[in-house]
């Protein structure tokens, strides 16, 4: 057992040894623990079909073998496996097991950085420690996860975070993969460039247009060309491909900086009119504003996301005249953006609002003689009072009159319970 705390770090004399642990088929594995009878069957954890969230969120290895894919509709998944077992998600269970796994990681290092509920980086660097010893520690963690939690984990061992994550994806389930300075060109460079961390679908398409199809192609591409085409992000991605990633694994006590707060929803019925959008905007804006206040933040830029019934979407953003965490101001700016950009007039399947350009709500306020500042202060006090009422008596103790009749866009009271939180942190892109 290795228990390491407050280890000094000096990159000049110490090689980094970083693990990336990825719990295998996490949601489905936990569900099979609670119901062992389905363990040997293809299992998919899926959202509610009735609320139009009926997609595959996770699947076990048996489902993977018969072609079930994450993100596909439930009806599509059933075509591949007639005996597919569909279970609803239980996030309280997943949170519990995620925390238990993190406790195991923290017994080896205080530098543990979560990357979602089921993944984490673990920095086990120590003067004189070799990557072979890192492999042995990874094996210890793998065995403990399996014995103590009853699920499996794949772990990548490498000299940086990007390659360790690639390693955890190479062998699944229940495996350890080492990517060292000696073998990374053989293991990493032949991989599709889309496997590289932060290379999304759009970036991959651009790289493909320039005949950059593998991670090795990106590593060997001309640095000036990549910078000209993709800017600073292109330079960073090229560094990742060549192994020049020196981003640290943050301590568990490190306070993550929130860069944006937003909510989105797929309501039970398509939003077909501006009134439907207006009602939904207030539902989302209230949730966003409340969370801004919880974090002691206010924002100046409002973003909207719309996806129509043909699953085509777009994002737009606009600035406010002042920083705010008042739901009415956020909703009105979102509605204004919708009016300016919803020119296609197709029914809207999903809609989201996000607030960025954040600042502390405890900072000084610039008062203007040209605005009704007293009215804003009263609105702000009102929203804090509403927060207190809802915290004590429940989320539906007080509501806007506009939400009392939502038949045209479905039961939004149920929909708000399933709002998908989208909090983007300084650790990278929203996933």
Helix/strand/coil percentages in the chain, nearest 5: 40, 20, 35
Residue 4's pLDDT is what? 38
pLDDT, tens digit, for every residue of 266-317?
888 888 888 889 999 999 999 999 999 888 889 999 999 998 877 778 899 9
Percent of the chain clearing pLDDT 90 (strictly above): 55
Going by CATH, does the domain composed of 258-425 fall within 3.30.429.10? no
Per annotation, catalytic residue among 31, 119, 286, 329: 119
Averaged pLDDT score across all residues of the chain: 85
List CB contacts of 333: < 8 A, sequence separation 6 or more: 302, 318, 320
Structure tokens at 365: 């306020």
pLDDT score, position 343: 74
User: What is d(CA 307, CA 318) in angstroms, rounded to the nearest whole number?
Assistant: 18
> What percentage of the chain carries pLDDT values higher than 70?
85
Q: Is-same-fold flag (1-188; 258-425)? A: no
235 in Cβ contact with 227 (< 8 Å): yes
Structure tokens at 56: 């595959």
Question: In this predicted structure, what is the pLDDT of residue 7?
Answer: 36
Q: How far apart are CA 273 and CA 22, in angstroms?
A: 43
How far apart CA 153 and CA 141 sit, in angstroms, is 9
Q: Are 402 and 278 in contact (CB under 8 A)?
A: yes
Res. 431: pLDDT tops 80: no
The reply to whether CATH 3.40.50.10190 applies to domain 1-188 is no
Contact 86, 76 (CB under 8 A): no
**pLDDT at residue 325 greater than cutoff 80:** yes
> Is the pLDDT reported for residue 186 higher than 90?
yes
> pLDDT by residue (tens digit) across 219-266?
999 999 999 999 999 999 999 999 999 999 987 655 556 788 999 888
Q: Where are the domains of the chain?
A: 1-188, 191-251, 258-425
DSSP structure class, residue 408: G
CATH of 191-251, one of 3.40.640.10, 1.25.10.10, 1.20.120.1200, 1.10.150.20: 1.10.150.20
- pLDDT for residue 53 is more than 90: no
- Residue 254's pLDDT is what? 54
Q: Is 165's pLDDT higher than 70?
A: yes
- Give the per-residue pLDDT at 359: 86
As given in the structure block, the two tokens for residue 13 are 């004399």
Q: Which two tokens stand for residue 371?
A: 């605005």
The answer to whether the CB of 302 falls within 8 A of the CB of 237 is: no
| Burial tier of 369 (Cβ tally within 10 Å: 0-12, 13-18, 19+) | exposed
Element (H, E) at 235: helix 223-241
Weakest mean pLDDT among 24-28, 110-114, 290-294, 374-378: 374-378
Catalytic: 119? yes
Instruction: Quick: pLDDT tens for 71-106.
Output: 888 888 998 888 999 999 999 999 999 999 999 999
- Per-residue model confidence (pLDDT) at position 257: 67
Which range is least confidently modeled, 31-45, 177-191, 267-281? 267-281
Contact criterion met (CB below 8 Å) for 162 and 196: yes
Q: What residues form DSSP beta bridges with 265?
A: 351
**Alpha carbon separation from 269 to 52, 211, 276, 407, 410 (Å, rounded):** 8, 43, 10, 9, 5
């Amino acid at each position: 057992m290795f228990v390491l705390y407050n280890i000094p770090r000096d990159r000049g004399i110490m090689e980094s040894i970083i693990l990336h642990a990825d719990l295998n088929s996490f949601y489905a594995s936990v569900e099979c623990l609670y119901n062992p009878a389905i363990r040997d069957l293809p299992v998919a954890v899926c959202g509610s079909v009735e609320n139009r969230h009926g997609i595959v969120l996770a699947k076990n290895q048996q489902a993977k073998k018969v072609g079930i894919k994450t993100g596909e509709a439930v009806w599509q998944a059933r075509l591949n496996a007639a005996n597919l077992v569909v279970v609803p998600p239980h996030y309280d269970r997943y949170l519990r097991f995620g925390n238990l796994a993190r406790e195991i990681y923290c017994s080896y290092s205080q530098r543990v950085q979560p990357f979602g509920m089921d993944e984490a980086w673990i920095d086990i660097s120590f003067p004189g420690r070799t990557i072979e010893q890192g492999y042995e520690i990874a094996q210890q963690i793998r065995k403990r996860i399996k014995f103590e939690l009853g699920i499996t984990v794949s772990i990548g061992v490498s000299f940086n975070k990007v390659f360790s994550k690639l390693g955890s994806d190479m062998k699944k389930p229940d495996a350890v993969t080492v990517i060292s300075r000696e073998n990374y060109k053989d293991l990493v460079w032949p991989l599709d460039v889309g496997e590289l961390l932060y290379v999304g679908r759009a970036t991959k398409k651009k790289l493909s247009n320039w005949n950059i199809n593998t991670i090795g192609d990106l590593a060997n591409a001309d640095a000036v060309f990549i910078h000209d085409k993709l800017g600073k992000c292109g330079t960073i991605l090229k560094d990742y491909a060549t192994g020049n990633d020196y981003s640290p694994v943050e301590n568990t006590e490190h306070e993550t900086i929130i860069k944006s707060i937003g909510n989105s929803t797929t309501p039970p019925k398509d939003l077909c009119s501006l009134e439907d959008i207006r009602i939904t905007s207030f539902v989302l804006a209230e949730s966003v504003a409340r969370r801004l206040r919880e974090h002691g933040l206010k924002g100046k830029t409002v973003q909207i996301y719309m996806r129509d019934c043909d699953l085509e979407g777009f994002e737009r953003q606009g600035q406010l005249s002042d920083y705010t965490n008042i739901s009415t101001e956020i909703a009105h700016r979102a509605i204004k953006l919708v009016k300016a950009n919803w020119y296609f007039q197709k029914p809207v399947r999903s809609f989201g609002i996000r607030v960025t350009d954040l600042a502390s709500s405890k900072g000084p306020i610039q008062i203007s003689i040209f605005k009704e500042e007293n009215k804003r202060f009263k609105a702000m006090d009102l929203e804090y009072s509403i927060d207190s009422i809802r915290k004590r008596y429940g989320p539906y103790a007080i509501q806007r009159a506009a939400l009392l009749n939502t038949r045209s866009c479905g039961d939004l009271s149920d929909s708000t319970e399933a709002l998908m939180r989208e909090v983007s942190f300084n650790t990278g892109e929203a996933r």
